[in-house]
């Protein structure tokens, strides 16, 4: 069993499903491994039970720092649909199974081990290498927000994220605009509603008719070289008190995936334009798209690192998910590249896995990127 595989299995064994997260035990596993080799790690809470980790391997200060980014929390598990223990870290047929194997405890472990390999080599890099591991990425990116606000990215010149890419270099990610659509109705009892007509004051019906229009809404957006057009998903719906009562309130949460160059304000206006007087719309969250130029020196460096370690189609490319990079890169003006051993689409999957071979090669990719960027 290799060092990266062993660490990934240890991280998988900790249940960090968000909510509630409970990232501290996982953070302490990483911290103890770093501290055992003389690398100091700061572990701190950003909310009750939600934990970040920051570690810095000091360089000579001649070049800007490089930040490695990963998150501890994972998506939930439907135990009855899994054929393996989600927290068992079983290795079978060249795959490591478990919740977080791909998204993204495998990437986190590979980043940690690659950093330690640099420490062991005795080579003093010209810039600092940071490990910035966060809480709550799957919900509100609270950990990433705190990392930025607490100043941990001071002096950083580039950001490398280990979300799933199959060890390809992704330079683009879509953004996410989250909306809450609420409908007002005329509360009453169905037994006494014979005189009502149309939607009969039913908030659920009013909401449903609006959502039907929203689902088919065509959003204008610039064509992009790496990602497809924006998408709209009605992901959560609420309403009603009991079967015989006409609901006076109903609401739904909507996810819009934005492409680079698309205006979130125009998208919000488009949702308002199809609403009537019974509908209100609230913005819950906005995670901006991120787009690093294909010919940016950091992007080219990452593509070449992937190619050198055997990735057949190293990129550059893009993806529709968001990462902590959506919080970090736009606010700080950093170039961002995503490289991770997990497969795209494996996040939250039943029987989630990562190929052991890619887990090992990602460790070498991260080490190569750090040495090339910081030398």
Give 75-102 pLDDT, tens digit per residue: 999 999 999 999 999 999 999 999 999 9
Region 262-284: mean pLDDT is: 98
Q: Which CATH superfamily is domain 3-173+289-374 in?
A: Zn peptidases (3.40.630.10)
Q: Show the CA angle centred on residue 324, arms to residues 323 and 329, nearest 5°.
A: 105
Instruction: Tell me the percentage of the chain whose pLDDT exceeds 70.
Output: 100
Question: CA-CA distance, 84 to 90, in Å (whole number)?
Answer: 7
Question: CA-CA distance, 226 to 170, in Å (whole number)?
Answer: 9
Closest alpha carbon to 14 in 31, 6, 26: 26
Q: What is the pLDDT of residues 304-360, one digit of tens each?
A: 999 999 999 999 999 999 999 999 999 999 999 999 999 999 999 999 999 999 999
Q: What is the pLDDT of residues 292-304, one digit of tens each?
A: 999 999 999 999 9
pLDDT of residue 15: 97
pLDDT of residue 100: 98
pLDDT of 374 over the 90 cut: yes
Give the residue extent of every domain in the chain: 3-173+289-374, 175-287
Region 221-242: mean pLDDT is: 97
User: What's the start-to-end Cα distance of the chain, in Å?
Assistant: 31
How sure is the predictor about 1, in pLDDT bands with cuts at 50, 70 and 90? Answer: low
CATH class assigned to 175-287: alpha beta
How sure is the predictor about 139, in pLDDT bands with cuts at 50, 70 and 90? Answer: confident
């Amino acid at each position: 069993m290799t060092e990266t595989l062993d660490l990934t299995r240890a991280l998988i064994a900790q249940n960090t499903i968000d909510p509630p997260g409970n990232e501290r035990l996982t953070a302490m596993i990483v911290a103890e491994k770093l501290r055992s080799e003389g690398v100091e790690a700061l572990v701190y809470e950003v909310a009750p039970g939600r934990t970040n980790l920051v570690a810095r391997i000091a360089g000579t200060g001649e070049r800007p720092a490089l930040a490695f980014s990963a998150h501890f929390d994972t998506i939930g598990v439907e135990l009855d649909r899994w054929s393996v223990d989600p927290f068992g870290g079983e290795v079978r047929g060249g795959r490591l199974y478990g919740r977080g194997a791909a998204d993204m405890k495998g990437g986190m472990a590979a980043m940690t081990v690659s950093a330690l390999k640099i420490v062991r080599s005795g080579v003093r890099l010209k810039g600092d290498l940071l490990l910035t591991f966060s809480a709550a990425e799957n919900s509100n990116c609270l950990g990433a927000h705190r990392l930025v606000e607490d100043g941990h990215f001071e002096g950083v010149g580039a950001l490398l994220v280990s979300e799933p890419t199959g060890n390809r270099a992704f330079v683009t990610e879509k953004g996410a605009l989250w909306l809450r659509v609420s409908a007002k109705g005329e509360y009453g009892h169905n037994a006494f509603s014979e005189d009502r007509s149309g939607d009969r004051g039913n908030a659920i019906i009013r909401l449903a008719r609006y959502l039907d229009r929203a689902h088919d809404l065509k959003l204008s957006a610039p064509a992009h070289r790496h990602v497809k057009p924006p998408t709209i998903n009605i992901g959560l719906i609420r309403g009603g008190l009991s079967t015989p009562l006409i609901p006076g309130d109903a609401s739904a949460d909507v996810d819009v995936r934005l492409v680079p160059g698309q205006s979130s304000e125009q998208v919000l206006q488009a949702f308002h334009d199809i609403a009537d007087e019974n509908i209100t719309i609230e913005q819950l969250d906005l995670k901006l798209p991120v787009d690093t130029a294909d010919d940016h020196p950091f992007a080219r460096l990452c593509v070449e690192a992937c190619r050198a370690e055997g990735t057949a189609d190293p990129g550059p490319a893009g993806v529709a998910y968001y990462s902590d990079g959506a919080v970090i890169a736009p606010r700080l003006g950093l170039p961002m590249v995503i490289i991770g051993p997990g497969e795209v689409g494996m996040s939250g999957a039943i029987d989630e896995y990562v190929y052991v071979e890619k887990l090992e090669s990602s460790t070498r990719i991260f080490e190569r990127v750090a040495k090339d960027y910081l030398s």
